[in-house]
Copies of this chain bind each other. A is one copy, B any other.
Amino acid sequence: MTQPVAKRFPTPSIDRLPDDIRTRLLAVQEKSGFVPNVFLTLAYRPDEFRAFFAYHDALMDRDSGLTKAEREMIIVATSAANQCHYCVIAHGAILRVYAKNPLIADQVAVNYRKADLSPRQKAMLDFAVKVALHSHSINDADFPQLREHGFSDEDIWDIGAIAALFALSNRMANLINMRPNDEFYVLGRVPKS
């Protein structure tokens, strides 16, 4: 495959990026074996790149009542609702890795209501998709329902904020026509022996 990583805006070459951004890209490459295209394409605007990943890290790396896999589920379910090619494929891969479950990402992407999830996780995704698609109708009655499933107010902020951040991310990926790296499609599909 020699498809461009994104078709509508230039992709900067790694060696001409600001030091902090190049360092981050090389660290990711070291860890994953490739540079996810979201890093390359967003680096076209360094300040926006830095803000996006600062936001991402604040939510995805923090201590939370949500597991890392659950946070990825939110991304996959809401990105599927927005038909975001990049985010469903890339975060689907990450979800498989974190959940150590080769089936879960495709299930959540097609229809999370039928996925192999706990009632608590389905309630989490119901709320995340509401934030993604109908945030104007969020109301006070949503909160006790989530608390009944054991979510704290901090957890609810996390659910909502992740859905909100990927509302941004989905729109940027759709704007840029960002292409997921081929590596993501198979990542985590076969449990490592």
Contact = CB atoms under 8 A, between A and B. Distances in A.
Interface in A17-59: 45, 47-48, 50-52, 54-55, 57-59
Contact of A110 (B48, B89, B168): B89
B103 A185 contact: yes
B83 A45 contact: no
A136 interface: yes
A168 B170 contact: no
Interface residues of A, number: 66
Given A45-B58, A55-B52, A55-B55, A138 B175 contact: yes
A113 B136 contact: yes
Contact of A161 (B3, B48, B89, B103): B48
18 contacts: A3-B116, A8-B143, A47-B54, A48-B161, A52-B55, A82-B135, A83-B111, A85-B114, A88-B106, A88-B110, A109-B109, A113-B139, A135-B170, A157-B175, A160-B172, A160-B175, A163-B171, A189-B189
Interface of A: 1, 3, 7-9, 45, 47-48, 50-52, 54-55, 57-59, 62, 80, 82-85, 88-89, 92, 102-103, 106-107, 109-111, 113-116, 131-132, 135-140, 143, 153, 157, 160-161, 163-165, 167-172, 174-175, 177, 182, 185-186, 189-190
